[in-house]
Amino acid sequence: MKNIDWKNLSFGYVKTDYNVRCYYRNGEWGKIETSSSEHIPMHMAATCLHYGQEAFEGMKAYRGKDGQVRLFRWEENCKRLERSAEAIMMQPVPMEIFRDACFKVIALNKDYIPPYGTGGSLYIRPLLIGTGAKVGVSPADEYLFIIFVTPVGPYFKEGFKPVKMQLARDYDRAAPLGTGHVKVGGNYAASLRAGVRAHKEGYAATIFADAKTKQYIDEAGPANFFGIKNGKYITPDSHTILPSITNMSLRELAKDVGLVVENRNIPIEELATFEEAGACGTAAVISPIEVIHDRETGKVYQISKNGEPGPWSQKLYNYLTGIQFGEVEDKFNWCTVVPC
């Protein structure tokens, strides 16, 4: 176990001992290599640098109550990386390589997995990039798949607290038939300007409206949006939203605790009717939303009336994190115990 102040870890980069790498060259994937370097030597004409051939994933491994290390739904992350690769014409990573690389990098860095009870976890960042040199716009012939890990603290240090969000229509993170549905770096570049402005103006994130009509709720910054009312868990159905594995899991749990799940367009005005709302993703699981300010109209949608998360959000959060930390029966078989 490393000498780290686990309780005060933030969601940032901490150097670990090893990362793992696998190269696609001459039409085939090579062996998984271990590296202790934080750097990637690369050709200056690599397609990831010029033409955005880059996709990534984000998942977590948790040290459980029983001391075992659990990886949450890695198969889903693998499938999503495959969809991302296909969307921007990169070579997909075979499932065995993805799995072996995950297990290997976790085992090599097991001393960086935060102890049970600190609320921390090991964040796992798979990255796939085009490394082949091209000057004309075309897909690369060579790719690098790399996974690094970094220990992260509990997202909510002062407890599970609602945040303020800003709704904006003057920026889009993804085009209607673009790449919003896959986890590629370009979407993040496109969202930076709105996100930084939101932070500057005092909000946790930007809620984007759908790019085509500007009438519906789309993505909540780097997370999916959901609202709860009248016993229903409602989350947008849109091609420009990244299918969050957290959201997919919350929908299952919502059904399990007796909510009805609706996947449909959410008109912006409907925000006034939600009893609870949140943003969901691997980093925070759920960020409950206190209030949403519409930047253009000045409208205020007060969701949490007492500054606390709603009862359903709390229940879903406890249920999901309970499964991840091995405190609650994993009846959906979502966790893989990692040999380490």
By the criterion CB under 6 A, which residues form the site for ligand PLP?
58, 183, 219, 222-224, 242, 244-247, 281-282
Among 183, 299, 315, 331, the active-site one is: 183
Q: Quick one: 91 or 187, whose CB is closer to ligand PLP?
A: 187
Helix, strand, coil shares, percent, the chain, to 5: 25, 30, 45
Q: Which of 327, 275, 333 is nearest to 301 (CA)?
A: 275
Please, is 204 exposed, middle or buried when counting C-beta atoms within 10 Å of its C-beta (0-12, 13-18, 19+)? buried
Minimum CB–partner distance for residue 180 and ligand PLP (Å) = 8
Q: How many CB atoms lie within 10 A of CB 5?
A: 8
Shortest distance in whole angstroms from residue 330 CB to ligand PLP: 17
**CB of 76 vs ligand PLP, minimal distance in Å:** 7
What's the CA gap between 10 and 114, in Å, rounded? 12
User: Least separation, in Å, of the C-beta of 220 and ligand PLP?
Assistant: 8
- Taking a C-beta distance cutoff of 8 angstroms, is the pair 281, 220 a contact? no
At residue 338, the 3 state secondary structure works out as coil
Shortest reach from residue 224's CB to ligand PLP, in Å: 5
Beta-bridge partners for 146: 21, 127
Q: What's the burial of 236, exposed, middle or buried (CB within 10 Å: 0-12/13-18/19+)?
A: buried
Q: Which is nearer to ligand PLP, 140 or 207 (CB)?
A: 207
Q: Which is nearer to ligand PLP, 238 or 282 (CB)?
A: 282
**Cα–Cα distance measured from residue 147 to residue 59, given in angstroms and rounded to the nearest whole number:** 11
Separation of alpha carbons 250 and 285, rounded Å = 9
Judged by beta carbon, residue 7 or residue 99, the one nearer ligand PLP is 99
* Nearer of residues 108 and 217 to ligand PLP, judged by Cβ: 217
CB of 77 to ligand PLP, least distance (A): 7
The verdict on whether 7 is a catalytic residue reads no
Q: For ligand PLP, which is the closer residue by CB, 32 or 240?
A: 240
Phi, psi of 100 (to 5 degrees): -60, -40
Q: At what angle do helices 311-324 and 245-256 cross, to 10 degrees?
A: 110
Which positions are catalytic?
183
